[in-house]
Structure 1
Amino acid sequence: MNLTERYLGKTVISFSLLVLMVLVALLSFFEALYQFGKVNESFTFAKATLFVVLKVPGYFSELFPVALLIGTLMGLGSLANHGELTVLRVTGWSIRRILFAVAKSAFLLWLVIALIGEYVAPQSESYAQKMRIEALNKSLSLGNSQGFWVKDGERYIHIGRVVSAEELRQVTLYHLKDGRLQKVQSSPKVVYDERRGWKMQQGQAMGLLFTDLPDDLSRVLLEDNAQLQPERLRQLRLKFQKLDQTPLGLPFAPDDLAKLDMDSRYLSLVDLYAYIQFLQQNELDAGPYLLDFWRKLAMPLVAFAMLAIVFPLIFGSQRQISTGQRVFVGIVVGLGFQLVNMLIGNLALVYQLPIALGAFLPALILLAIALLWMRRLP
């Protein structure tokens, strides 16, 4: 970057960070008001405050596009009001050159925010949810009132209730072989041990064994019912076994359960991809998670589109505009984009359209409007 590009980038980044801090502070304030209303003997004021602080990294990546839009409007608007952008135009700088000069610095800022969203936010959000659930003595909100199912090879696992990330209730495992049920294991309580993994508490196993009937009994049954086929005359034997402290080898860890209870917006790309694979393997609907996955991948394009729409707003007006007016315009454009983004994403899910299209299309539309508008500028 040359000196002019660094000056433009410094201006945009400083205003964008200022707006981002203000938006995060506002969102944290309202979250704190809600959490302080839940304070009791176990969920203390200190824990409620810590919960709000731990959610802050997730707010950074969530609010970044709108903060970049408003910050760029304020930063470039300030330069425009002082005639500095006019001087740049006179010296030969085109609007597109100024756009790409600002985009370089915005990309570096997005990279930092993206790293926070991928590595810091998921961990802090997971710990915040776990701490709050344990303090309020609540269950993880997985599945529905009938629990949820997990498929692991030829095992089908039903979990009635997730008390915490380390404790499960009413767990039943169905073991199949060649499509036939071979064994059923059940336990009212399953806990996690760091050395042995998941283990049963007062569980039991029921083995199913199909064997041929004795010849004399088969002969009698065939004489009484000629429609029976000899190769289907088999008997079922049940074998019961008490199980306690028996390892189960469940295909997930406590951290995985804690992440499943998180809002998918705060999951990292790796965690989202793993959960999508988990849902697809169990033949469950992964559409909303696929949409969030593609939206994360579309975030650089969204940020660039937010940046690009600022330039026709700045260079298309020849009169001076106050900072308050620019902030208002930024909020309107940002909210409008969020509404369109939600609308197109939901339409893609409802009408079975390509999920990636639902994630990228709003940004492409905004970018196309910005570029066409800029072409009409003098």
Structure 2
Amino acid sequence: MRKLDRHVGWTVFVAILLVLAIIVGLDAIAAFIDEADDISKTYTFGQVGLYILLTLPGRLYEFIPFAALIGCMLGLGQLATSSELVVMRAAGVSTGRLVWVAMKPALLIAIMGFSLGEFVAPETEQMAETQRALAQNPGESFGGRYGIWNREGNTFLHFNAVEAGGVVHGITMLEFDEDLLMEYSLRARRASFEGGYWTMEDAVLTNFSSWQTTRETHKVMRWDTGITPELLTVMAVEPEYLPISDLYRFSRYLQSQGLDSDDYQLALWGKILQPAAIGALVLVAISFIFGPLREGTMGFRIFAGVIVGIVFRTSQDLLGPASLVFGFAPIYAALIPILLCGAAGMLLLLRAR
């Protein structure tokens, strides 16, 4: 019986990895073509390739649920086409046991994906965004496509690029009074964190508080603020690629600043519930193989898997903004598609028995 379990599990595991490699490869090629439009003297062909390479862990994490769905369909479908599933059931192997055997490799993939998204993707995504921002906008202006904005009270800040270790490039600071009139602006080429405060380099301060503007230049300038390198690192990466701890801390920070944190709340619950989402999608895949797609062709199974994956992802994408409009908690936006998918899989399995 153990040999049977290993055979089914290995078939499903290999199918999931194969589908994941194909999907991520196609997505990386499409991203490379898109980035190639921005190639310039500072953003070279090699830097584009490095950017795509650094974003691969994030792409792997993003497509694991989709790959688990289609890979499970293909792996079990191969066993069904060769009548191996029929022989197993005729030999007394229950449907429940086959479901659990097929579920185990998917759960292993889910654990691997969770570890990748929690410990690897945040680091590589930040490195990718930093090197691209520095290459495309090496100056001090904030007119480039990339960079991050932040607000601290009535002070609005823009950073061209954020490096790990407490170094930022291209800082622009705009300070307003209570009547929203600009008091001063500050630009600096670079700033580094010195343990409690920032040291700006090549700073230019323009003061608008009098009838005429005054301008000061500082080779080195101290900047005291509550903004930390950890906070800027979180801001430099898209919410879906951040670890759970950073998502929680940053959402609390945004709430304390009176800013909207729903995007980070959605990403937080999406990451926490991703293993459950993978389990629900795999359950649907298994129910299809034991039910309506038992005699289907491989092409039709791939088509069905793509449709189910698109519907699942679209429902998540629609419920996210809906939670902002209708005011329900972000956890429901992540949980409802999982519950519906799991319920549909269980219903199909019960009807197939």
Q: For the structure 1 residues 306 and 39, does the alpha-carbon distance in structure 2 shift closer, same or farther, using more than 3 Å as the test?
A: same
Partner of 1:276: 251
Residue 117 of structure 2 aligns to a residue whose secondary structure is: helix
C-alpha deviation, 1:160, in angstroms = 4.1
Q: Note if 1:303 corresponds to 2:278.
A: yes
Instruction: Describe the superposition over 1:286-329 as per-residue Cα deviations: whole angstroms up to 9, x where unpaired.
Output: 11210111011111111011111112211114863221111111
Deviates more, 1:310-319 or 1:52-61: 310-319
Partner of 2:213: none
C-alpha separation in 2, matches of 1:281 and 1:318: 51
Q: Note if 1:11 corresponds to 2:11.
A: yes
Whether the 8 Å contact between 1:315 and 1:377 is mirrored in structure 2 is: yes
C-alpha deviation, 1:33, in angstroms = 0.4
Residue 171 of structure 2 aligns to a residue whose secondary structure is: strand
Residue 49 of structure 1 aligns to a residue whose secondary structure is: helix
Counterpart mapping for 1:251-270 below 5 A: 251-254=226-229, 256-270=231-245
Deviates more, 1:74-83 or 1:315-324: 315-324
Partner of 2:192: 193
Match of 1:338 among 288, 293, 313: 313
C-alpha separation in 1, matches of 2:287 and 2:111: 25
C-alpha separation in 1, matches of 2:63 and 2:205: 48
Residue 19 of structure 1 aligns to a residue whose secondary structure is: helix
Partner of 2:156: 159
Counterpart mapping for 1:90-105 below 5 A: 90-105=90-105
C-alpha deviation, 1:135, in angstroms = 0.6
Counterpart mapping for 1:136-151 below 5 A: 136-137=136-137, 138=144, 140-143=146-149, 148-150=150-152
Residue 42 of structure 1 aligns to a residue whose secondary structure is: coil
Whether the 8 Å contact between 1:142 and 1:260 is mirrored in structure 2 is: yes
Instruction: Describe the superposition over 1:171-193 as per-residue Cα deviations: whole angstroms up to 9, x where unpaired.
Output: 5498xxxxx9xxx9966135423
C-alpha separation in 2, matches of 1:318 and 1:173: 63
Partner of 1:68: 68
C-alpha separation in 2, matches of 1:91 and 1:199: 73
Unaligned regions of 5+ residues in structure 2, if any?
Answer: 138-143, 163-167, 208-215
The number of residue pairs the alignment matches comes to 328
C-alpha deviation, 1:62, in angstroms = 0.6
- Greater C-alpha Rg: 1
Instruction: Describe the superposition over 1:242-275 as per-residue Cα deviations: whole angstroms up to 9, x where unpaired.
Output: 9954432322344632431322111121221121
Counterpart mapping for 1:36-75 below 5 A: 36-75=36-75
Deviates more, 1:310-319 or 1:287-296: 310-319
Whether the 8 Å contact between 1:130 and 1:258 is mirrored in structure 2 is: no
Aligned residue identity for 2:173: Q
Partner of 2:165: none
Structure 1 segments (4+ residues) deviating >6 Å: none
Partner of 1:356: 331
Instruction: Describe the superposition over 1:65-111 as per-residue Cα deviations: whole angstroms up to 9, x where unpaired.
Output: 11011100000000011111112212222222211122222211211
| TM-score (normalised: structure 2) | 0.84
Partner of 1:223: none
Whether the 8 Å contact between 1:139 and 1:164 is mirrored in structure 2 is: no
Residue 304 of structure 1 aligns to a residue whose secondary structure is: helix
Match of 1:168 among 166, 171, 189: 171
C-alpha deviation, 1:376, in angstroms = 1.3
| TM-score (normalised: structure 1) | 0.79
Residue 328 of structure 2 aligns to a residue whose secondary structure is: coil
Counterpart mapping for 1:182-261 below 5 A: 188-190=186-188, 191-195=190-194, 197-200=197-200, 201=203, 245-254=220-229, 256-261=231-236
Deviates more, 1:257-266 or 1:71-80: 257-266
Instruction: Describe the superposition over 1:207-247 as per-residue Cα deviations: whole angstroms up to 9, x where unpaired.
Output: xxxxxxxxxxxxxxxxxxxxxxxxxxxxxxxxxxx995443
Whether the 8 Å contact between 1:129 and 1:262 is mirrored in structure 2 is: yes
Residue 155 of structure 2 aligns to a residue whose secondary structure is: strand
Unaligned regions of 5+ residues in structure 1, if any?
Answer: 151-155, 175-179, 206-241
When the two chains are superposed, the root-mean-square deviation of aligned CA atoms in Å is 2.8
Matched-pair identity in %:
27
